[in-house]
Amino acid sequence: MPTVNMSVNGRPASGEVEARTLLVQFLRETLRLTGTHVGCDTSQCGACVVHVNGSSVKSCTMLAVQAEGAEVVTIEGLADGDSLHPMQEAFRNNHGLQCGFCTPGMVMSAVDLVNRNPKATEAEIREWLEGNICRCTGYHNIVKSIQEAAGNMGG
Amino acid sequence: MPDGAQETGIGASVRRFEDQRLLTGKGTYVDDINRPGQTYAHILRSPHAHARIVSIDTSAAVASPGVVAVFTGEDMQVGGLPCGWQIHSQDGSPMHEPPHPALAQGKVRHVGDQVAVVIAESAHEARAGAELISVDYEVLPAVMDLKAAAAGGTLLHEEIGTNVCYDWGLGDEAAVDAALAASAHVTEIDIINNRLIPNAIEPRAAIAEYNGATSEYTLYTTTQNPHVIRLLMGAFVLSLPEHKLRVIAPDVGGGFGSKIFLYAEETIITWASARIGRPIKWTAERSESFMTDAHGRDHVTHASLGLDADGRFTALKVQTHANMGAYLSTFATSVPTYLYATLLAGVYTTPVIFANTRAVFTSTVVVDAYRGAGRPEATYLLERIVSKAARETGRDPVELRRLNMIQPDAFPYATPVALTYDSGNYQATLDTAERLADVAGFAARKAASEAAGRKRGLGYSTYIEACGIAPSAVAGQLGARAGLFESAEVRVHPTGSVTVFTGTHSHGQGHETTFAQLVSDQLGIPIESVEISHGDTGNVQFGMGTYGSRSLAVGGEAIVRATNKVIEKARKIAAHILEASAEDIEFADGSFTVAGTDRSMAFGEVALAAYVPHNFPHDTLEPGLDESAFFDPANFTFPGGTHICEVEVDPETGVVEVKNFTAVDDVGRVINPMIVAGQVHGGVAQGIGQALLEGCVFDAEGQLLTGSYMDYTMPRADNLPSFTVATETTLCAHNTLGVKGVGEVGAIGSPPAVINAVVNALSDLGVTDVSMPATPQTVWRAIQDARA
């Protein structure tokens, strides 16, 4: 089996994987980073979004071996110690989550959006979130959260 | 805390305690758990909608690498999955209850039905093993059309001699027929309430573990009601006593009803865990969720509404065919009967109502409660037919509603369909909604749309629901096989912090916050000193779980009562220590004080004394401070409200855009406004989803065509607007909190508002009906048909 090496949340991570192992499986099963979730099998729901080399990626669409040498950040790596990332803080402050299952992917996706487009309009935020499905919130408070975080991330 | 650190009491938007772990990836959902020596299960499912199993050859699977065991229905000879609600037909006969095996016994009855389970060292090996099982099927005709199935033809369950589960009625049919015959106008409508697939984003999952030393089973599962699962699985299927079966529902990623029911997979792996002596994990793939999670709705209805010359409703007659799917799911039978027909009075004074429901077996996935469960179907029917009656009689739809509304001074109000509404003010929610929706400015907005070549419409829904499920006595009379109380235990620790054990289960509703607000407020202690524990039959004494918007109205009330018992016990302890009589001890702001003196003890001091009882008179005062309560409500609760939807339709493409959605709901007293608004947002999104986007489709052979997120249209962020939500409050009359429940109102009230808006937008093109989901194709066809 191939060995894969990458940086996950700023720390080196390696493991033997089958060639078919998905990045999300490597994160959840090998590294036991279970904050990244699997909600579908067709790359639609977005619960598995992580950052690979600074861009949001559905980790169910990528093989672990494709992340060889990459810098991967998961929801577990977003906060600075006990201090939440502004996006996490905004989700908490605006009730941007209910059951929490889509939340890690939603937050990681939203951080990438604000990094790319700090002044995103409501329409742009809603369009960006097309790849992340939430069944609980109706997206209303997720949009509010992202708008607030954009202000606090220096956008 | 943005609202100020002091604001944690009833009515404060306290930020949720759940969020820290859920936002940092530290939530613990079932699939996040792994047990030592764990194996993995894969279920082999039927590719046919209806077939006889001639033979199953598992030999190659058994020999496949990594496979630990393979079981079929022949191996698993246990009880069937039970149905929790018995309905009687109009002729007095009990409903037909054909067996519902966890693993197929000789026949499969829908695509996805469980045929065999393969247990292996890895998930890949379990799946590879399942592919090696050879099943010889004799394919039978699928039973798909509701009315045709009810009439006869191919039988899904030959032993009952019919596809009709029951033929149920409520109300006085003769009186209704007479009233309709005497009416000045009768509006008729044919309505399909489209089948929905719940789609909690966390797929169902379970881990079962058997301890051979103690003969104890532990089941981690994605359920809304762990005690109910323990009872149903233990008592009815596997013959396990409760004290040997522990069910744990940790963080659960949404339910919406679909995680109420006892499912085959969790039952199979619990049974198999003792056979193989190792833990077994099963996690649904999304495609399995689509074809095995209980679906919702799926009614075909014809209704007649009579009006007198003044526009007052004279009678309502409703005939419904309700799809049960292939088997009876846990609460399936109650949904199109007591959770549906009893709501057909709505907010109106219709004097006589008759409802007939025929429940029909088909070769499809089971249908059971999905957010609202019966009440959305009643509301959709009623609010569509009322708007249609207004059009047909040339009346304003709002004025027709107001004319027929129950007046605010008429409560308690007994309906002709077995309910007594305790409180409400429907006119107030309508007034507020019309103001917030800027109905006065609609004409100008419509003109602007018209100028841009688009059609703008306004749709109303003034709805009521019954929730806070349920008074056990009433439910029992109506056929429920379980009680529907709730329990709570308030355990005060020696230093004054408190753990509250509740039999409800939170899977997004924020109970850890709302319930802490209640107890903190009642005991006068910091909210951080209150911990809410739920979801583990090993910790919580008992519980019926979370569904039917019952957690606060029933479970919260149980917590209040247990907390009151704590206060009374603490009062006795304080009286002993302060050398006063208990009657002279006053409790306020977290302190026990001898009336008229400055002698007092803080709650924490009393708690410590309870556990350090050095001089207690033990014949009259027990040590400890730990009380429990069971609460069974006297009535359902009756949230109601007004939803107003404003849409714009492109008549060339049929694309509908929701421009504004206003929901004004009366949910009784609001404990946490932030959470209440969030519940309404989510419910409305599901209701708009039903109205415009979502619809389960099977082909004629019973193949599920909408079996993935590429085929079944989930509401996405760019399908929805930001919502305008507000509350109007009348208090529930039969719980001390005055709360009614908020979990389902959004999904119940919204679909007819959306469709009424679409029909309103297209009315000048001659369109009188648009069915759900109002996809661009459906709307475009309605426009073309009207033009033809």
Same domain, A102 and A64: no
What chain B residue is nearest to A18 in terms of C-alpha separation?
Answer: B124
Same domain, B446 and B316: yes
Same domain, A56 and A115: no
pLDDT at B3: 43
Contact B199, A135 (CB under 8 A): yes
CA distances from B480 to B100, B469, B663, B695 (A): 18, 11, 32, 30
Query: Crossing angle, helix A86-93 and helix A103-116, to 10 degrees?
Result: 120
Same domain, A14 and A70: yes
Q: Where does a domain end: A77, A106, A122?
A: A77
Tens of pLDDT, residue by residue over A115-147, are 999 999 999 999 999 999 999 999 999 999 999
- Please tell me whether the peptide bond between B99 and the residue prior to it is cis, using omega within 30 degrees of 0: no
- B14–A contact, CB cutoff 8 A: no
Output helix, strand, coil percentages for chain B, rounded to the nearest 5.
30, 25, 45
Tens of pLDDT, residue by residue over B335-370, are 999 999 999 999 999 999 999 999 999 999 999 999
Hey, are the CB atoms on A92 and B32 less than 8 Å from each other?
Answer: no
Token pair recorded at residue B756: 């009424």
Same domain, A102 and A61: no
Chain B positions in Cβ-Cβ contact with residue A132 (cut-off 8 Å): 717
Mutate to test the interface with B, among A32, A94, A135 (most CBs of B within 10 A): A135
pLDDT at B788: 87
Same domain, B639 and B626: no
pLDDT at B281: 98
Q: How many domains does chain B have?
A: 3
Q: Where does a domain end: B604, B631, B658?
A: B631
Same domain, B563 and B452: no
3-state DSSP assignment of residue B446 = helix
Choose the closest CB to A39 out of B252, B286, B677: B286
Range of the domain at B68: 33-140+202-253+259-292
Choose the closest CB to B286 out of A41, A129, A137: A41
Query: Which residues 99-158 of chain B have a CB within 8 Å of chain A?
Result: 124
Q: Which residues pair with B325 in a beta bridge?
A: B361
Same domain, B373 and B444: yes
DSSP string, A41-78: SSS-S-TTEEEETTEEEETTSSBGGGGTT-EEE-GGGT
DSSP-derived secondary structure letter, B385: H
Same domain, B616 and B540: yes
State mean pLDDT over B256-281.
98
What chain A residue is nearest to B203 in terms of C-alpha separation?
Answer: A39
Residue B1 reports pLDDT greater than 70? no
Same domain, B513 and B627: yes
Token pair recorded at residue A103: 């939340």
Range of the domain at A25: 3-77
Q: How many domains does chain A have?
A: 2
Same domain, B567 and B647: no
B187 in a structural domain: no
Estimate to the nearest angstrom the gap between the alpha carbon of A49 and the chain centroid: 4
Q: Where does a domain end: B631, B646, B675?
A: B631
Residue B13 reports pLDDT greater than 50? yes
**How far is the C-alpha of B104 from the C-alpha of B73, rounded, in Å?**
5
Chain A positions in Cβ-Cβ contact with residue B25 (cut-off 8 Å): 33-36, 74-76, 104
| Residue A34, domain CATH | 3.10.20.30
**How far is the C-alpha of A46 from the C-alpha of A38, rounded, in Å?**
8
pLDDT at B730: 98
Residue A104: count of CB within 10 angstroms of its CB = 30
pLDDT at B6: 54
Mutate to test the interface with A, among B3, B14, B23, B197 (most CBs of A within 10 A): B23
DSSP string, A75-107: GGGTSBTTB--HHHHHHHHTT--SS-SSHHHHH
Residue B422 reports pLDDT greater than 50? yes
Query: Which residues 685-704 of chain B have a CB within 8 Å of chain A?
Result: 685-686
Same domain, A9 and A72: yes
| Residue B270, domain CATH | 3.90.1170.50
The owner of tokens 């699962």 is B229
Chain B positions in Cβ-Cβ contact with residue A143 (cut-off 8 Å): 717, 722
Same domain, B435 and B516: no
Hey, are the CB atoms on B686 and A75 less than 8 Å from each other?
Answer: no
A–B interface: beta-carbon pairs under 8 A: 177
Same domain, B615 and B757: no
B66 in a structural domain: yes
**How far is the C-alpha of B740 from the C-alpha of B758, rounded, in Å?**
31
How open is the CA angle B361-B365-B370, to the nearest 5 degrees?
100
pTM of the predicted model over 0.80: yes
Same domain, B121 and B219: yes
Q: What is the ipTM of this complex?
A: 0.98
State chain B's mean pLDDT as an integer: 97
Hey, are the CB atoms on B24 and A79 less than 8 Å from each other?
Answer: yes
Same domain, A69 and A12: yes
What chain B residue is nearest to A96 in terms of C-alpha separation?
Answer: B678
Same domain, A69 and A11: yes
Choose the closest CB to A40 out of B16, B24, B709: B709
Same domain, A17 and A61: yes
Tens of pLDDT, residue by residue over B704-713, are 999 999 999 9
Contact B542, B594 (CB under 8 A): no
Choose the closest CB to B25 out of A91, A104, A140: A104
Residue B2 reports pLDDT greater than 60? no
Same domain, B675 and B624: no
pLDDT at B4: 42
The owner of tokens 């949340």 is A9
Same domain, B72 and B208: yes
CA distances from B20 to A84, A91, A92, B32 (A): 8, 10, 8, 17
Regarding beta strands B245-248 and B216-221, do their DSSP bridges make them parallel or antiparallel, or are they unpaired? parallel
Tens of pLDDT, residue by residue over B602-617, are 999 999 999 999 999 9
Contact B606, B593 (CB under 8 A): no
Token pair recorded at residue B730: 């009348």
Same domain, A59 and A99: no
Q: Which residues pair with B320 in a beta bridge?
A: B301, B357
Mutate to test the interface with B, among A101, A122, A132, A141 (most CBs of B within 10 A): A101
**How far is the C-alpha of B163 from the C-alpha of B156, rounded, in Å?**
7
| Residue A104, domain CATH | 1.10.150.120
